[in-house]
Amino acid sequence: MNGTILLVEDDENDVFFMKRAMKLAGMLNPVQVASDGREAIHYLGGTGKYSDRAQFPLPRLVLLDLKLPHVMGLDVLKWIREQRELKTLIVLVFTSSNLPQDISKAHFLGANSYLVKPSSAAELPEIVRTIKHYWLELNQSAPTPEYVESPARMANLVRGAVLVEAERGTEMAHHGG
């Protein structure tokens, strides 16, 4: 499936090995790299040199390291989730930290997934294959905020949710729940 991937990573070796793993895994998506948190925010916000969306399109998926210069990864994640047009963006934290507080905070701030970098670059292609298969092939992305926030569409979504809940209530009543 098409769509740009934004790799937010400050370590040049990690960038090299990730791009190599993507190629080995058959992930042919274009990759943009932001080497620090501030650059990631500028890219995603379309500011400065990133204002040309033809050259720097919004990504389909972000791979976000946590330990970054200028703006830390968790702060980038928080910023992403505060942006209306980025609320549904798939953000996978991909970091060397396996600290429970980092994992917990990343999920609390809205990470779609938290992955710990393997100790060996040889393991990367399999991880990338899994990311590609699940997030780019199987996963059904949420509609954009513009789609959901259209008054008519919102009314239909709410009506549909109410009907589903009503059906569940009826089903529970019939089964003694």
Q: What are phi and psi of 173, to 5 degrees?
A: -65, -40
What would the mean pLDDT of 43-51 be, rounded to a whole number? 97
Give the count of alpha carbons within 13 A of 160, CB side only: 6
What would the mean pLDDT of 119-148 be, rounded to a whole number? 86
pLDDT the model gives residue 155:
64
Helices (H), 69-144: 73-82, 100-108, 124-131
Residues, the chain, total? 177
pLDDT the model gives residue 4:
96
What would the mean pLDDT of 115-138 be, rounded to a whole number? 95
Domain spans in the chain, listed from the N-terminal domain onward: 5-140, 143-177
pTM of the model: 0.81
Quote the CA–CA distance of 11 and 146 in Å, as a whole number.
35
Q: 72-82 pLDDT, tens per residue?
A: 999 999 999 99
CA distances from 81 to 50, 112, 127, 135, 154 (A): 19, 11, 25, 18, 20
CATH homologous superfamily for the domain 5-140: Response regulator (3.40.50.2300)
